[in-house]
């Protein structure tokens, strides 16, 4: 009986590890800052503070990310990434710095003429589920997957609210592909197009 319990526990742990591995991805970065949107870093980090949008912030995702980086740099000269809080429309983020080897040379956070190079391990992410599907925004799955198809919001859906757009995209993708595992929002589409995928 005890051996059976141990075997079942081992199987459960293996399944959990496999599922967690499938949620891993590679986050995007800009100007030396990694973005974690609907995801969390895999690498250990320390929390430096929190940043919010100004009252008059851009609606489009890329200008909004630039705006948040600029606001974060007002209080934090050196930081590595921003973890955007879910449900806040990319207007609230935790400013973080990854733990380093003490002998490692310090870098100034994305300033100067050269484009900063971000370490590959700093970009490793774990995507978070939302409305029953894993969502990748500015993030690409690192596990093998099958593309089920592509979806987009209808022209009748006029909202520019980021939270509403993501929820609508997940809803549309799940309706079209009920057995999907994840939704990958396509770059440069203002959150209006996505790929529905299933992990292999």
Structural domain boundaries in the chain: 22-101+116-199
* Helix ranges, the chain (H): 2-22, 61-75, 162-176
**What is the structure's pLDDT at 20?**
47
Residue 185 vs residues 2, 23, 39, 126, 155: alpha-carbon distances, Å? 46, 15, 13, 16, 17
Quickly state the pLDDT bin for 10 (edges 50, 70, 90): very low
Of 161 and 95, more confident? 95
pLDDT greater than 80 at residue 107: no
Record the pTM. Answer: 0.82
Residues 6+ apart with CB under 8 A from 192: 152, 153, 165, 169
pLDDT greater than 60 at residue 114: yes
- Strand ordering across the sheet containing 24-27: 39-41, 124-127, 24-27, 139-141
Instruction: State residue 145 phi and psi, 5-degree precision.
Output: -150, 165
Residue 47 vs residues 40, 84, 169: alpha-carbon distances, Å? 13, 13, 31
Of 200 and 18, more confident? 200
Counting residues of the chain whose pLDDT is more than 90, the rounded percentage is 66
pLDDT greater than 80 at residue 140: yes
């Amino acid at each position: 009986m005890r051996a059976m319990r141990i075997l079942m526990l081992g199987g459960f742990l293996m399944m959990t590890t496999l599922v967690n591995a499938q949620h891993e991805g590679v986050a995007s970065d800009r100007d030396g800052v990694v973005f974690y949107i609907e995801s969390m870093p895999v690498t250990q980090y320390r929390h430096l503070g929190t940043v919010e949008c100004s009252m008059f912030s851009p609606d489009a995702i890329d200008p909004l990310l630039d705006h948040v980086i600029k606001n974060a740099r007002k209080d934090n000269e050196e930081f590595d990434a921003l973890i955007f809080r879910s449900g806040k429309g990319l207007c609230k983020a935790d400013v973080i710095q990854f733990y380093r080897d003490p002998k490692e040379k310090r870098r100034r956070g994305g300033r100067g003429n050269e484009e900063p190079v971000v370490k590959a391990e700093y970009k490793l992410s774990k995507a978070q589920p939302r409305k029953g599907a894993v969502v990748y925004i500015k993030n690409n799955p690192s596990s093998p997957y099958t593309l089920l198809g592509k979806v987009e919001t209808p022209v009748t859906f006029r909202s520019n609210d980021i939270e509403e757009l993501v929820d609508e995209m997940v809803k549309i993708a799940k309706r079209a592909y009920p057995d999907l595992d994840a939704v990958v929002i396509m770059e440069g589409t203002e959150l209006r197009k996505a790929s529905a995928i299933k992990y292999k």
